[in-house]
């Protein structure tokens, strides 16, 4: 779909305040539990960075019943053209969709429901200038990906379904868009051939979690625990904003997970 502006141009985001229960969030590996104070500090820094990048931030209240609900990107997708309500692949997260639905129906004219019985997480969806890439993973199955493709088609968005490497939680765990032509990727995802249409910058070995960076307008937000990745991006001419992600990293999360981002033509 032709874009009138870069796909990383945003003027609105939705975030959700972390709950005290966030310390019980899902995780694939035990890296210790985060503290609520630590997660809140990282979330506060994230919101401040978004405002500095020129984005209007809508903060939703914490949901104690849903430890992972700070990660608003998984139960929904948003675009200039409308929003899509998803069906998360983790059983404990499925009801988060109903919690965010009223906000999306208030803010978007078009809100689509994912049809069928398949699963799809927003963490597996990467919007590029070429298409919307949907990664198959433990959280997004083929049925969910095909159903999502149908929704995206209704919004006028071209899609591409790709494979996520074994053992990788979400497609965007291992990649992020740096600009219209360039992808930041781990070596294992780059080897899959998913990004043949793009220039690729490969994450230095040992800093793989840094791949979940986030381009917002003129800046690239990167986890501050990854100095070699920051140096690489800085030398390549990107305006890097390092953000602390140590605590959220303990519950398998990164920077893209914590917001729903779009450009509103009416703002």
Token representation of residue 59: 């903060």
Distance CA 52, CA 43 (A): 14
As annotated, the active-site residues are 170, 257
Report CA 115 to chain centroid distance, whole Å: 22
Report CA 95 to chain centroid distance, whole Å: 19
Please report, rounded to a whole number, the percentage of residues in the chain having pLDDT higher than 70.
99
Q: What digits encode the pLDDT tens for the residues 181-214?
A: 999 999 999 999 999 999 999 999 999 999 999 9
Q: Is the pLDDT of residue 3 over 60?
A: no
What 47-52 contacts at long range (C-beta under 8 Å, 24+ apart), as own/partner pairs, is 47/15, 49/219, 49/221, 49/241, 49/243, 50/13, 50/15, 50/216, 50/259, 52/241
Find tokens 């630590």 and name the residue: 38
Q: Is the pLDDT of residue 1 over 50?
A: no
Q: What is the mean pLDDT of residues 242-255?
A: 95
Distance CA 132, CA 135 (A): 10
- Domains of the chain, first to last: 12-262 (3.75.10.10)
pLDDT at residue 28, as a whole number: 80
Q: What digits encode the pLDDT tens for the residues 43-83?
A: 999 999 999 999 999 999 999 999 999 999 999 999 999 99
pLDDT at residue 31, as a whole number: 82
Q: What digits encode the pLDDT tens for the residues 120-139?
A: 999 999 999 999 999 999 99
Q: What is the pTM of this model?
A: 0.96
Distance CA 225, CA 166 (A): 25
Token representation of residue 47: 């919101």
| CA nearest neighbour of 133 among 169, 176, 162, 94 | 162
DSSP assignment of 150-188, as one string?
Answer: HHHHHTT--EEEEEPPTT-SSGGGSEEEEETTEEEE-HH
């Amino acid at each position: 779909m032709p874009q009138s502006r870069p796909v990383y141009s945003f003027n609105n985001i939705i975030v959700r305040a972390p709950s005290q229960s966030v310390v019980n969030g899902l995780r694939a590996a035990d890296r210790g539990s985060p503290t609520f104070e630590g997660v809140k500090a990282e979330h506060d820094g994230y919101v401040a960075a978004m405002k500095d990048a020129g984005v209007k931030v809508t903060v939703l209240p914490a949901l104690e019943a849903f430890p992972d609900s700070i990660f608003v990107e998984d139960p929904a997708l948003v675009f200039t053209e409308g929003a899509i309500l998803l069906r998360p692949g983790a059983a404990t997260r499925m009801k988060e969709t109903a919690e965010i639905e009223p906000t999306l129906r208030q803010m978007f004219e078009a809100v689509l429901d994912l049809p069928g019985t398949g699963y799809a997480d927003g963490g597996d969806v990467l919007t590029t200038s070429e298409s919307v890439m949907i990664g198959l993973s433990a959280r997004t199955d083929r049925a969910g990906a095909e159903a999502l493709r149908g929704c995206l088609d209704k919004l006028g968005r071209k899609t591409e379904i790709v494979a996520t490497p074994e053992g990788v939680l979400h497609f965007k765990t291992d990649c992020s868009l740096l600009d219209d032509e360039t992808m930041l990727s781990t070596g294992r995802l780059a080897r899959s051939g998913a990004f043949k249409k793009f220039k690729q910058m490969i994450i230095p070995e040992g800093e793989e979690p840094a791949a979940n960076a986030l381009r917002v307008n003129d800046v690239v937000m990167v986890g501050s625990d990854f100095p070699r990745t920051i140096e690489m991006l800085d030398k390549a001419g990107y305006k890097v904003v390092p953000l602390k992600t140590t605590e959220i990293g303990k519950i398998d999360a990164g920077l893209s997970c914590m917001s729903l981002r779009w450009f509103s033509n009416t703002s």
